Amino acid sequence: MRVLLAEDEPQLCAQIKRLLVAEGRVVDVVNDGVEAHFMGSTEPYDMIILDIGLPERDGISVLRDWRKEGIATPVLILTARDGWSERVDGLDAGADDYMTKPFHMPELAARVRAMLRRQSGHVKPVFELGNVHFDTRNGRVTTDGIPVDLTAQEIAVLTYLFHNTGRMISRTELSEHIYEYDGDRDSNTIAVFITRLRKKLGPDLITTVRGRGYMIDAAA
């Protein structure tokens, strides 16, 4: 799952990115409101973490413009101010959740997981299908209770497919959601990741829709 992080405090930004990457997220970082607006308007993110107090343009105005443009990506706003009116302004502008600085990183991680689940219509943090058990809270994958060692990109592919269970995902869409903005988005490598996942998790978990893409079919 791909996240845009718009935050201008270098240390906090680095901490949040490490946290999200450790949970299998792909993270693009921007440090001002102008770049945040551009990236959020042109790239396909699964969610956005947006600091209200960005330079160049404040986060609230950026968020309002996204919503006017019809961009429905879930947004978690960060604010250094504890005043209730700013939180209200953010929520009224279209934010889905907020956190006040300073905050605990495990809480941020939990809120990100919850927002991604809600976006895809899932209520539990654990995906189970057949003998495969995938806990999104810690990235742990097991088959028949036995841990399976997956690479970061394999986890990224599996996460996106599980969050979109029942929907066909093209190679292009997958590549857009597992690579960073400046990453090498070679959609041909998606087939390699799918092959590896099938070897590790069984041949029936991921279905190929010939000529179109892949899907996890809960009804299969």
The CATH number for 64's domain is 3.40.50.2300
**Is 82's pLDDT higher than 80?**
no
Share of the chain above pLDDT 70, in %: 95
Q: Which helix (H) or strand (E) holds 156?
A: helix 152-163
Here the CATH number for the domain that contains residue 178 is 1.10.10.10
52, 59 contact by CB (below 8 A): yes
Residue 220 lies in a domain: no
pTM across the whole model? 0.84
Query: In terms of domains, do 185 and 202 share one?
Result: yes
Domain check: are 52 and 109 in the same one?
Answer: yes
Average pLDDT score over the chain: 90
| Domain coverage including residue 60 | 2-120
pLDDT of residue 105: 95
Instruction: Give me the mean pLDDT over the 77-97 stretch.
Output: 84
119-166 pLDDT, tens digit each: 877 778 889 999 999 998 888 999 999 999 999 889 989 999 999 999
Please identify which residue in the block is written with the tokens 């997220």.
25
Strands 26-30 and 2-6: parallel
**Among candidates 149, 155, 176, 158, which has minimal Cα distance to 215?**
158
Query: Which residue type does 45 have?
Result: Y
Q: For 12-64, write each residue's pLDDT tens digit.
A: 999 999 999 888 889 999 999 999 999 999 999 999 999 999 999 999 999 99
pLDDT value for 200? 96
The answer to whether residues 10 and 110 belong to one domain is: yes
- pLDDT value of position 183: 60
Q: Which of 120, 142, 177 is the last residue of a domain?
A: 120
Residue 205, pLDDT score: 93
Q: How far is CA 200 from CA 8, 136, 150, 191, in A?
A: 40, 18, 8, 14
Cα–Cα distance measured from residue 15 to residue 189, given in angstroms and rounded to the nearest whole number: 29
As a whole-number percent, the residues of the chain with pLDDT over 90 amount to: 65
Statement to judge: residues 68 and 177 lie in one domain? no
Between 50 and 80, whose confidence is greater?
A: 50
Identify the pLDDT of residue 132. Answer: 94
Residues 40 and 65 in one domain: yes
Contact present, 174 and 209 (Cβ < 8 Å): no
Domain total of the chain: 2
Query: Are residues 151 and 188 both part of a single domain?
Result: yes
Let me know: does 202 contact 130? Beta carbons within 8 Å: yes
